[in-house]
Each structure stands twice: as structure tokens, then as C-alpha cells.
Amino acid sequence: MNEEKKKFVVGLYPRVSTEDQVREGFSLDEQEESMKRLCDYKHYTIYKVYREEGVSAKSMNRPKFQEMLKDMKDGKINKIIVYKLDRLTRSIQDLEIICKMIEQYNCSLESISEELNTETSTGIFFMRMTTILAQLEIERTSERTKFGLAGAIKQGHIPHRAPLGYKHENKMLVPDVLTKDIVVRIFEFYHSGMSYQKISNLFNKEKVLSKENWRDSTIVNILQNEIYKGDFVHGKRTKNPTYYKDVVKPIVSRELWEECQVQKKKNSRSYMRNLTYLFLQKLKCPKCSKILGGKATKKKNGNVYYYYYCSECKSNIKEETIENYIKSFIDDLTEYDSIVNQFFLPMIKQKIESPKEQLEKELKEQKVKDTRLRKAYLDGVISLDDYKAEKIKIDKVIENLELKINDIEISNELQFTPEDILLKRDIDFINNIKYPNKYQEVNTFWKDYTRKEKAELIMRYIDEIQLEKNGNKYKVKFIKFRETICKQISELENNGYLDKKIQIFGNFAGQLRFSNYLPIEQVGKHIMRLRQFYDVRFYEADYYVQDQVFRFDLDENKSTIIRVFPMKDYKKIDSNNKKEIHTYGVLYINKNNELYKMDGDTVFKYIPSECNAVTFSKEPIPIDVKPTNYEEVYNTKETIHEV
């Protein structure tokens, strides 16, 4: 039947997605008007207009499109008209399906822009060629878009809403000084052993961000988001996501983030246990490297004995064996933690990570925002209820900023430094000698912790304990401490502010506290501060490099060495140990001496003050400087730094 003699009842299919209209500028109304003019010109009868708005042509699963196909199958229309072929489909595969359906139901397709009509074989051919070219253009556009997006992401332009702890500033994703501490707190809580539920419950109790709807799923999403270590994953829910490394400033260290992921996996395998195992997930079988399981036996006397076993190798090791080996290490670490992590480092960290200038800038912006809000209310732009609601939010932000600025000002006044860490450790060392009972009373050691507290300490400090087997007995070969803990200790140690114990091969037997090189001016200040409390003496000793022997002109029965340190930076000037002798400074006290000028309570509650006006001397001289109350400072710190 010729086209002139056939009566066409047509369905008009205008379609537009938001991006189509922006890019190509034709609306649904314009498409429909063009198709109606064609029908009027060719005397087609319009059955229905199937308007498809805001829907992509990536698939045929479109409401109006499916309705049109149903009407075609029911014989209600025998021709489909589109403004442009890509309005119908942009897929070659879908086009083939449509062509077969049109042929099957004695229908035809006509496109206005391309002047295509499937009534002829030539029209079908050109229609297919047009679709192929359209799909090629789509793929090229997609490639260009992905390339541009990759470049933007690498420069810190993240195409998503800013997650908690970040904000968009000049199109860049940057840490938000108002909320980043919340993220840090979540990671540190989880790293220390708290569960998702406990963290969310705590945040609800504290009404963090004025919210009481914190959920464990929220905590999980934050912990597993790569953005917090500075990375970004684009298309995470697709089959082929793209990973971008170091594209934004991280909020937590890469080491802490990775350790939390490891901890997450371990927690999923050790969920809901009635007994507390100190070294669960920390031990591996020395033979097959399988993680050891835990078991316990309860005797008639009520005592519980814990073991770790390998189901493959049928081997067992007593928990007591590992605990006896490790407790001295833990005591050293808990001392480090109490002095460094809980007292000094938060002060230093507060100065570094919360710049006062940035906070003051943010405070100024919030006050300007407050002024504009008030003006908008007075001008009648917003209602009183809207004004009050927004005013509460702004006032809360201003209050938090002022508190942070105040914390920094107090922190700057306290002026705690790494030198204080060295000082406090030496004071504690002497206190333990002079007042051993009092020292045991004010300090907490491994033996004082409950099983749960011990397990939390192991979780916090240790990543893995390697075992080895000699005959039928096991022993600890190596302890792998967590990277975040080791990194902090190493930085202080390498800069001379943390001691380590070494074995002595000279006229003094046993272990000796040793620290790395410090300039003599700093050593002098350190000694003069110690002398506010104790009769600390200074002496220079020779260390014979090749023989690895110290020669001390001291009587070990009368003297106790506090620490030794190199008088020169031998790591730089004699890194290959070619010199015969290295000179070391020695700090010591006489065992029969009493306190220099302070009573027992003072040396546990106070920390020696700076005494820059006093010149260093090798021999003890009276120091008239008032020390700082350690306990009051500590309590102040606890108050002002609690987030």
C-alpha cells in the first residue's frame, strides 16, 4: 500500500532530559509543535502525545515509551513520530529491537530532523547509520567528561556533597575546623577498642552537633570512607570504580585509617564473646601462620585458665606465658601513654592542628552572617520563626569557635614542649627511687588493670605478637606495635626527647636509660630544672666505641645514673663509628642524698618551671624558682580539651 493511500494514526514521542535541554536547547513544547506541523502537512491523525520529561534514553524502561509500545501492539497507532532519532533511543541494540517490533506490528517510524522514514529500506539503513554515529558521539562525550572529571578530582574538586569534617571552599574540599575533630574522635575511639554502637550512644548522650540520632551505620560509613585519609573513590557503586590517591588534605593519618580497617575485619570475626581474651587476633601459629583461637578452662576452685590453640597443628600455648613476657613492655608503654599522650601531646597537637588565625577568620564570617540574618528579619524578608531557628544555629557555631580559640590561648600560655616530656620522665624515674611506695600508689601498672582493661591496652598498642617454638615450648619472638604508637615514640626518641634502655658493658651492670643528642644549651636547661627538686649531678664519661664499653668514674653503690646522652651529634660527625672514643654526658644522683629542697608530695604534684635566668653549672646550686602545679595543669587540660 502506498503512503498516499494509507491512513496513518500516529503517536508523537517528544522526550527531553534535563541535561539535553541545557546542552541542545530544545524543549518538549518545541518538539511537540514541530511534530504537529508535520502531521498537519501530511494529513496524519494524531492519536496521542507521549511526553517523556526528565528521562534518559539509556534504556527502554521509560513510562511513556512503554505506553506507546503497548498502544502500537494493540493496533491503536501505526506510525511513531519523533523530533530526532536519539529522542527514541541512543543504543544500537535497542534500535534493532524497536525495528523488529515496528515491522512485526505493521508500524513505521519517522524522524523530523534526520528526514528518516522506515517505510523504505533506504530509510531503515540511514536510520541505523544515524544511530551508530549518535552512539559514537555519546561515547566520545563520555570519555571527555571522564577525563575532565579526573583532572578536577586530582586538584581537590570533589563532585559530591562535603562529608562530615570537610567543607567546600573555592570549589575545593578542605577540612572544616568546626567538625573535623568529631571525625578524629570517631577514629580514635574505634582504634582504642570502642564499638560502633558505643560511639553512637556516646554521641547521642553528648548531643554532638546538637543531634540525638547518631547510628552505628553512620559511624561505619565514616570509618570506611577513604576521603578521611586524603583519597577519593569515584563510582564506588559501579563495577569499575576509579581510585584517586592524595587528592584532599587528610583528617586522620593513613596509618590510623588502615589500622581501623584491619580492626573492623577482626571485630567481625570476634563478635559477642562471653570471656575476655587478652591476645585474641594478635597471635599466629609459628608453623602454619593461622590465627590462634582462644579457649578457657575453669577449675573447681573457680580460677579460669586461658589458652590459645591452632586447630591445624593441634598446639596450645598458655596465656600466662605470653603475659609474663609482655607485661614489662606494657608498663613502659602505659607510662609513655600517661605522660605523653594524655598530658603533653594534646597540647602540642592543639597548637598545630587548630590555627588561631583560621578560627578567628571563621568567627568573623559567622558574625557577619548573624548581622545579615538580623537585617533580613528587620526588612521583612524572613519570618520571626525562621529568624529564631537560624539564630540558634549561628549562635551555637559562634560559641564553639570562641571555645576553640580560648583553648588555644590557654594552651599557648601553658607552653608545654617536648622538653617537658623528658623532664617528667626523669622526675618519675627519681621519684621511683626516692619514694617507691608512693610511686606505686600514684601510678597504674599492668598488674593493677582488670582483664578488660588489659585487653583494651593490647588492642590499643599491639598489632601482632610473633611466636616461636623451641622443642615443645613456645616463647615470644617479636612484638609488632601499632604504627601510630611507634611513630610518635620514634619522633620523640630521634629528636632526643625520649629515653630508651640499653645494656651496659662496663663497670656498671644492668640497663641504662639513654637518649639521643641534644644541644648542650638544652641539656643545661634540663639539668637546672631538675635541680629545683633533686640534687642532680652532671659528669662526662668515655665510651669506647670498638669495645662498646662505658667507663664511669662513679661508685655504683653510692650513685644512681638517671640517663646518659651523647655530648656531640655522633650520628652525623661519626656515623661509621671510626672514632675511638665518644664523650657522653651523665646525669646521676647520690643514693644517700635526701631531697634537694622539695617534699614528697610536691615532687608528685608539680613539674619544675622554666628557669632561663639561671645559668647552668655542673655543680648543684640553689634554684629559687617556683614550680608549676602538675595536678592542676593536668585537670585544666582535661577540662578544656574534652571535645
- Which residues does 74 contact at the CB level (< 8 Å), separation at least 6? none
Are 520 and 552 contained in the same domain? yes
Distance CA 39, CA 51 (A): 17
**Mean pLDDT value across residues 44-60:** 86
Q: What is the pLDDT at residue 338?
A: 59
CATH number at residue 236: 3.90.1750.20
Cα 228 to the chain's mean position, in Å? 5
Query: Considering the domain boundaries, does residue 458 fall inside one?
Result: no
Burial code of 54-90, b = ≥16 C-beta within 10 A, e = fewer? ebebeeeebebbeebbebbeeeebbbbbbbbbbbbbb
Query: Considering the domain boundaries, does residue 491 fall inside one?
Result: no
Query: Considering the domain boundaries, does residue 162 fall inside one?
Result: yes
Highest mean pLDDT among 75-89, 228-242, 485-499: 75-89
pLDDT band at 497 (very low <50, low <70, confident <90, very high): low
Interval 554-569: pLDDT, tens: 777 788 888 888 889 8
Question: Computed from CA positions of residues 564, 565, 567, 568, in that sequence, does the dihedral angle turn out positive or negative?
Answer: positive
Interval 568-622: pLDDT, tens: 988 889 888 889 999 988 888 887 765 555 666 777 777 777 765 555 555 555 4
Q: What is the pLDDT at residue 414?
A: 43
pLDDT at 21 over 80: no
pLDDT at 143 over 60: no
Q: Classify the phi-psi angles of 487: left when phi > 0, otherwise alpha if psi is within -120 to 50, otherwise beta.
A: alpha
Catalytic pick among 17, 34, 113, 354? 17
Q: What's the first-to-final CA gap in the chain, in angstroms?
A: 83
- Give the length of the chain: 643
- Grid cell for residue 525: 636547661
Distance CA 504, CA 485 (A): 27
Interval 377-414: pLDDT, tens: 887 878 888 888 889 888 888 888 887 776 565 444 44
Query: pTM for the full model?
Result: 0.46
* Among 151, 167, 182, residue at a domain's last position: 151
- Grid cell for residue 99: 525495528
User: How many helices, marked H, and strands, marked E, lie in the chain?
Assistant: 22, 24
Interval 63-120: pLDDT, tens: 999 999 999 999 999 999 998 888 888 777 787 788 888 888 989 888 888 777 777 6
pLDDT at 13 over 90: yes
Are 123 and 179 contained in the same domain? no
Query: Considering the domain boundaries, does residue 479 fall inside one?
Result: no
Query: Do 396 and 210 form a contact (C-beta atoms < 8 A)?
Result: yes
Query: Considering the domain boundaries, does residue 42 fall inside one?
Result: yes
Distance CA 192, CA 198 (A): 12
Distance CA 500, CA 486 (A): 13
* Among 135, 151, 167, residue at a domain's last position: 151
Of the ranges 17-21, 140-144, 298-302, 627-631, which one carries the lowest mean pLDDT score?
627-631
3-state secondary structure of 432: helix
Q: What is the pLDDT at residue 339?
A: 57
Q: Among all chains, which residue has been given the C-alpha cell 598488674?
A: 447
- Measured from the Cβ of residue 554, the count of other Cβ atoms closer than 10 Å reads 18
Are 97 and 161 contained in the same domain? no
pLDDT band at 10 (very low <50, low <70, confident <90, very high): very high
pLDDT at 24 over 70: no
Are 278 and 366 contained in the same domain? yes
Are 614 and 504 contained in the same domain? yes
Interval 326-375: pLDDT, tens: 777 777 666 665 555 444 444 444 443 446 677 788 888 889 888 888 88
3-state secondary structure of 307: strand
* Percentage of residues of the chain with pLDDT beyond 70: 71
Q: What is the pLDDT at residue 474?
A: 81
Are 405 and 320 contained in the same domain? yes
Q: Where are the alpha helices (DSSP H) in 478-554?
A: 483-494, 520-530
Check if 200 is active-site.
no
Query: Considering the domain boundaries, does residue 465 fall inside one?
Result: no
3-state secondary structure of 533: coil
- Grid cell for residue 371: 548581622
* Among 151, 180, 199, residue at a domain's last position: 151
Q: Which domain holds residue 172?
A: 155-270
Are 503 and 578 contained in the same domain? yes
Distance CA 479, CA 207 (A): 40
The residue among 17, 13, 38 whose CA lies nearest residue 26 is: 17
Are 331 and 287 contained in the same domain? yes
Distance CA 395, CA 604 (A): 42
Are 234 and 195 contained in the same domain? yes
Q: Which amino acid is at 281?
A: Q
Query: Do 424 and 498 form a contact (C-beta atoms < 8 A)?
Result: no
pLDDT at 274 over 80: no
Of the ranges 232-241, 364-373, 414-423, 515-524, which one carries the lowest mean pLDDT score?
414-423
Are 115 and 45 contained in the same domain? yes
Per the structure, the count of domains in the chain is: 4
Q: What is the pLDDT at residue 6?
A: 74
Interval 425-466: pLDDT, tens: 888 888 888 888 888 887 777 787 888 888 877 877 777 888
Q: What is the pLDDT at residue 538?
A: 87
pLDDT at 302 over 50: yes
Q: Crossing angle, helix 63-73 and helix 92-104, to 10 degrees?
A: 30
Query: Do 401 and 363 form a contact (C-beta atoms < 8 A)?
Result: yes
Query: Considering the domain boundaries, does residue 577 fall inside one?
Result: yes
User: What is the residue-wise DSSP string for 44-91?
Assistant: PEEEEE--EES--SSSS--HHHHHHHHHHHTTS-SEEEESSHHHH-S-
Distance CA 639, CA 643 (A): 9
Query: Considering the domain boundaries, does residue 467 fall inside one?
Result: no
- Measured from the Cβ of residue 199, the count of other Cβ atoms closer than 10 Å reads 23
Are 316 and 447 contained in the same domain? yes
* Percentage of residues of the chain with pLDDT beyond 90: 8
- Measured from the Cβ of residue 445, the count of other Cβ atoms closer than 10 Å reads 13
Distance CA 30, CA 83 (A): 9
Distance CA 138, CA 133 (A): 9
CATH number at residue 118: 3.40.50.1390
**Mean pLDDT value across residues 469-479:** 80
Query: Do 133 and 106 form a contact (C-beta atoms < 8 A)?
Result: no
**Mean pLDDT value across residues 281-286:** 81
Query: Do 322 and 475 form a contact (C-beta atoms < 8 A)?
Result: no
Are 307 and 178 contained in the same domain? no
Of the ranges 8-12, 147-151, 348-352, 617-621, which one carries the lowest mean pLDDT score?
348-352
